[in-house]
Structures are given as structure tokens and as C-alpha cells.
Amino acid sequence: MIVSVVIVVLWVSFFGYQIYYNSTARQLNKYRKAAEQGNAEAQFQLGVCYENGVGIDKNTVKAAHWYRKAAEQGDARAQDNLGWCYQNGVGIAKDDAGAVEWYRKAAEQGYEQAQFILGVCYANGEGIAKDPVKAVEWYRKAADKGYLNAMCNLGGCYLIGEGVAKDLVKAVELYRKAADHGNADAKELLKTLSD
């Protein structure tokens, strides 16, 4: 009885894996065909597959290649990912100024993650001249869209008066909003401020 249960479990596990693998392989082939025909969404998805090794061997050079193809067509997610590749030297030579260029393109399209990261670049002077006022501007854009890390960073700017007038009430308001949505950093900052 136990042997037959084990065999059934192994068969189901293998069969389930085969379905997943075959489904992933079919989807990857669809992405590849569409990407080669110039479809930006497929190019982006193929980049994600290469970056993460989903259905294919991980290859960050190919990931960056496909992100660039999609980014050049205006895909904000691909622009953001390509910026990350440049910033971290993943699949492409490290280039902070190049990272900022791609983050800016995505940020100007309203992509909140890129807006946040562009704010970080301005705050730290990474790939661009340090400009706390510009950092606040980009944090605010992302925070207004509900991006929690941007709320925390903007709160920090208000807390210390970096790029904006010091305002403890506004800082706490931003931290509380982020904490209420589950941001652990904001919860910790509120706890620290209340001590």
C-alpha cells in the first residue's frame, strides 16, 4: 500500500513538473518568436526569462540585450530593468550615467519604481550630480502613486530637511502611510521616532 502511494506521488510530481516545464518551454518559444519580430512586450518577457533562468539557462548578457530592444521601443519596465543592469554591471558594463539615462526615460513615462530609483540617484549623486531638490521631486512622484519606499525616503527628507523644509509632522505622516501598507522600514522608523 505504501509503495503504491509513493509511486502515485512520484508520478504526480513528475507529471506536474512535465506540465510546468512543457508550458514554460512553449511560452518561451512564443516570446522568442514575437521578440524576434519586434514585439516589445515579448522582448521584455524574454529578458526576464534570461535574467532569472526561467525555462532557459540564465544569461544576463542576453537579458540585457532583450531589455535594450524593448527599452528602445519605449517599454518603461524594460527601461527600468536596463537601468538596473547598467547600475549593477549585470550583463553589460557598469555605467551609472547610462543607468540614470534609462531610469529617467522610464520615470518620465510615470513608472514609479524608476521614479524612486532616479530619486535615489539624485540623492546620492550616482551617475548624476547630487541634487536633493530633484531627489525630493522624484520621490514625491513615486510616493503619490503609492510606492512605499519612496514614501519612506521622502519622509526621511522631511525629517532632516534635505531638499525640502524640515517638517516632522509630514515625515511621520509619510512613514505612517507606508507602515499602514506593510512597509517594515517605515514601521521601524516610526518606532524609533516614538522612543
| CATH number for the domain whose boundaries are 110-195 | 1.25.40.10
Q: Do the domains at 1-88 and 110-195 have one common CATH topology? A: yes
Segments making up each domain of the chain, as ranges = 1-88, 110-195
Residue pLDDT, tens place only, 73-120: 999 999 999 999 999 999 999 999 999 999 999 999 999 999 999 999
Q: pLDDT band at residue 24, thresholds of 50, 70 and 90?
A: confident
- pTM of this structure: 0.84
Residue pLDDT, tens place only, 130-174: 999 999 999 999 999 999 999 999 999 999 999 999 999 999 999
3-state SS assignment for residue 39:
coil
Residue 69's contacts (CB-CB under 8 Å, 6 or more residues apart) are 35, 38, 40, 43, 78
| CATH number for the domain whose boundaries are 1-88 | 1.25.40.10
